[in-house]
Amino acid sequence: MTQNNRLRLRSGLSIGALAERTGLAVSAIRFYESEGLVHPWRNAGGQRRFERSDIRRLSFVMIAQKFGFSIARIREVMQRLPDRRTPNAADWRQISEEFREELDSRIAALERMRDKLDGCIGCGCLSMKACALYNDEDKAHEKGNGPRYLLGDEVATRPPAQD
Amino acid sequence: MTQNNRLRLRSGLSIGALAERTGLAVSAIRFYESEGLVHPWRNAGGQRRFERSDIRRLSFVMIAQKFGFSIARIREVMQRLPDRRTPNAADWRQISEEFREELDSRIAALERMRDKLDGCIGCGCLSMKACALYNDEDKAHEKGNGPRYLLGDEVATRPPAQD
DNA sequence: CCTTGACCTAAAGTGTACTTCAGAAACTAG
DNA sequence: CTAGTTTCTGAAGTACACTTTAGGTCAAGG
């Protein structure tokens, strides 16, 4: 294993080794490559070889996913990492700053919505129209392909009975 | 339209009318029925007829989805609504209480993770193992079908270089 | 009565994030 | 060198939350 490690370090990590180090499935790493999140080279036999810095790239991907960011968004932000040189701590800190800001505003939006929930659920406005919970904020659930037209139509002609 | 409305009220809402009132697509309402979130009856011609209280049911579904709850979870919680009588404001308040609690703890977890982000991203632990961001909390991203084995394996034999 | 629009069902398609499978080539240990 | 493990590719499968399509029925206005 020790000798093994030494070999790996010389010629890049195999996909299996990277999977071990990150806890990801091998298939997930291949998928992330297809999504442009890592860019391994190939050895003589056509097998993928990764740099040690890819451990960190993939770790970052995992963290960002935990926070609910989509692969598209993660790819977008990671494209700001340096291309030529190996990213250093400052590079990582910089892009995580960006996530942090987005995260902050999402947490805040969620809190505002939560606060409105109390006032809204019991009231008639839940039957729609002008309810603050509808016309408001970015939803926690921003991705997706629903109708997304979310109101704007005519006003209720009758009082909000307790239906 | 006024006369139309009067007719609708006598014999229940058509799926199109319900779609108009909620902003949902007709297809979405059919889907929600198949998922057990609404239970329309059928008229003589086999068409769905909804109660006025279904406007509120679906509105609740939409709000819960905005907060990121899955259909399965929403169905689970809505099963606590009264079966026999039309749910009233107190009923709705009670089940939204439950969501509120879940929401609170999810917001709190997100905040704790966010706070750890600052300390974690720049450091070597991002390369895995004992990092607080990994072994911790319920992920915002709890559903899903990934590898989910997320660490627990051997310790790094070398210091966390700035890769 | 007839046309038009709303509605019906079942099946297939969409996007996200992956996994699983099949068959073949590469690599590693003994 | 051989056996066993890894890795390779492309295609298909999975889960969630719906939408779209196709082909047919129902209902309301002129």
Q: Is the CB of A148 under 7 A from strand D?
A: no
Q: What is the DSSP letter of B107?
A: H
Give the closest-approach CA distance of B33 to chain A in angstroms. Answer: 16
Question: In angstroms, rounded to a whole number, what is the distance separating the alpha carbons of residues B16 and B23?
Answer: 10
pLDDT tens digits for range B61-90: 998 898 889 999 999 999 988 877 888 888
Q: Residue A120 in 3-state DSSP?
A: helix
| B48: CB within 7 A of chain C nucleic strand | yes
State pLDDT tens for residues B119-129.
666 555 554 54
pLDDT at A137 (0 to 100) = 47
A69 touches B at CB < 8 Å? no
Of the candidates A25, A113, A103, A104, the one whose C-alpha atom is nearest the C-alpha of residue A67 is A103
> Is 90 exceeded by the pLDDT of residue A98?
no
- Whether the per-residue pLDDT at A109 is higher than 90: the answer is no
The CA–C1' separation of A163 and C30, in angstroms, is: 77
| Residues B25-35: tens digit of each pLDDT | 999 999 999 99
> What pLDDT is stored for residue A61 in this prediction?
93
Q: Report which DSSP code applies to A155.
A: P
The residues in B 29-48 lying below 8 A from A, measured between CB atoms, are none
Question: B30 CA, D19 C1': separation in Å?
Answer: 11
Find the range with the poorest average confidence among A66-70, A104-108, B1-5, B91-95: B1-5
In window 109-148 of B, residues with CB < 7 A from nucleic chain D are 143, 145
The pLDDT of residue A123:
58
Dihedral Cα B32, B38, B42, B45, nearest 10 deg: -30
pLDDT for the residue numbered B154: 23
Neighbours of B88 (CB within 10 A): 15
The pTM assigned to this predicted structure is: 0.76
Contact state of A133 with B66 under an 8 Å Cβ cutoff: yes
A72 touches chain B (CB under 8 A): no
Mean pLDDT of chain B: 74
**Rounded CA separation A56/B162 (Å):** 9
Which chain B residue is nearest to residue A67, measuring alpha carbons?
Answer: B140
Using pLDDT thresholds of 50, 70 and 90, give the confidence band for residue B160. Answer: very low
pLDDT reported for residue A83: 77
List of chain B residues whose C-beta atoms are within 8 Å of the C-beta of residue A163: 51-53, 55-56, 86
A30 touches strand D (CB under 7 A): yes
Among the ranges given (A29-38, A149-158, B96-105), the one the predictor scored with the smallest mean pLDDT:
A149-158
Question: What percentage of chain B exceeds 70 in pLDDT?
Answer: 66
A27: pLDDT strictly greater than 70:
yes
Domain A3-87 sits in CATH 1.10.1660.10: yes
Q: How far is the CA of B44 from the C1' of C8 (A)?
A: 13
Q: How confident is the model at residue A140 (pLDDT cuts 50, 70, 90)?
A: very low
> If you ran DSSP here, which 8-state letter would residue B1 be given?
-
Domain boundaries, chain B: 3-87, 110-163
Residue of A127, A137, A157 to mutate when probing chain B, most B C-beta within 10 A: A127
Residue B79, number of CB atoms within 10 A of its CB: 11
| pLDDT value at residue B24 | 94
- pLDDT score for A47: 97
Chain B: residue nearest A156 by CA? B21
List the beta strands (DSSP E) in chain B: 41-42, 48-49
Q: Which residue of B has its CA nearest to A113?
A: B67
Is residue A138 less than 8 Å (CB to CB) from chain B?
no
